[in-house]
Structure 1
Amino acid sequence: MEPNSGSWTSYSRYVALGDSQTEGIGDPDGMGGHRGWADRFAELLDAAYPGLHYANLAVRGRRAGQIRDEQLESAVALDPDLVTVMAGMNDLIRPRFDRKSLLTDLDIVFGTLIDTGATVVTFTYPDIGGVAPLVRPLSPRIYALNDDLRMLAEEHGVVLIDVEPVEATAHPLVWADDRLHLNPLGHDLVARAVADALALPGSGDTWRDPLPRTPSTYWHTLAAESVWATRYLLPWVGRRLRGHSAGTGLYPKRPDLLPVLL
């Protein structure tokens, strides 16, 4: 389904499903928690249509199968009229990436949510190889997953926000130091993208605007990659080898539909 048809439908019950990006990692709320693009979008939606109730079921580290098993039933029970789903990246970065299983999980999630009558929104992914050169071998997987997401969105009538061709989404300025999560600027960009896709009053396509170039020398890049690998990549690999996840033992930050408080 093409985003932003030029008309706006009001929503009163918004539920967000996903992993760390939707939970809001990389966007501290100043009180020891995380804000994130879904919180930011909920604020935009509530400003346009006061009285919105919003739940966020996302938990960091969750793969698509876990989102299906842990979040889908709860989301349906909340009877939302708007749902966002950001899922698949935690599957894609695993060494034993099972594309078939991922597509099956996404197909079930999208189909189940669409059957409730809710508007469902999902996303393609930017090429993280442009943000973290050491992981460029994953780029072909990302492009293939994006093609799959386009196909599934078309089949189910899901609103697709296609961020892959938008250069700003792979710009270093919108990513946190770990290069795995968006920073506040990046979370704001995604919130504005969702508002644009749903044609909220006052929204626009400025999230697509190019960002300033950040030139660097070969030696600067090499040094930055070395620091990043030591500080973030190797610890992440170590956790995966031990079977640990950043989300182990954690629960959704906002499991119930509650008013949006600014």
Structure 2
Amino acid sequence: MHIARLTNADIHWREDGDPAGTPVVFANSLGTDLRLWDKVIARLPEEGFRYLRFDKRGHGLSSCPSDAYSMTDLVEDLEELLSHIGVSQFSLVGLSIGGMIGQLLAHRQPDRMTSLVLACTAAKMGTEDMWQTRISAVRTGGIESIADAVLDRWFSGPFRHSDECIAWRNMLSRTPAEGYIGCSEALAATDLTATTVDLTLPVLGIAGSEDLASPPEQVKATTDLIRGSRFVEIAAAGHLPCVEQTDVFTGHLQDFLKESAHV
């Protein structure tokens, strides 16, 4: 377990794999922590790559600043974390808000990011009114009040009835309300279309066929903004295909990382 005491937040992070390998950074979705990637990391090769995960501010074991969050704040946390760890160049795998963090970071530091995976994300996710409605619900009734609706967007029908889904519901409902609201405010205010279209690095877009939070057509539209990008859709998966269809997700990721390493 590692805690990096950064300028504006204390960030919990973890590393696996080969300490001398090529760094691959994983950025989580809203309402999850770095355990989102447990099953993926377990299936990736132990040699040749260094896997770095972190809890964004307001999530997991990281601190929860009380001020309003912007997408720039979240990106600056990651920039400072990577400098703290001593990582100069890296690939990034971002899911949902993690993918938005990845898009903005690639724009801000194109010489550092070598490739990008955009999983179940978009240049703009949802509308400001949608996010404000959700924020109001959390302020009134806590995350528990929206948990079932969120799980409907996260997972396909069969998975929602599995025992494993209970653990994901618990992870979501135990996220600090202030952290969830802060990241929701960042999402509400962010549209990265104008900067994502200028990205030139290798990009793989991944969508879940049953994703109600970021439908496949939305993920593809964002991926298509970037010249030379690739897109795949994973069947029988919702917003977290790394959880629901781990083998398929990891297969696409591993192939992409190997190809990108030789570009």
Q: Same fold (TM over 0.5)?
A: no
With CA pairs under 8 Å and 6+ residues apart, which has the higher RCO, 1 or 2?
A: 1
- Bigger radius of gyration among the two: 1
Structure with more strand by fraction: 2
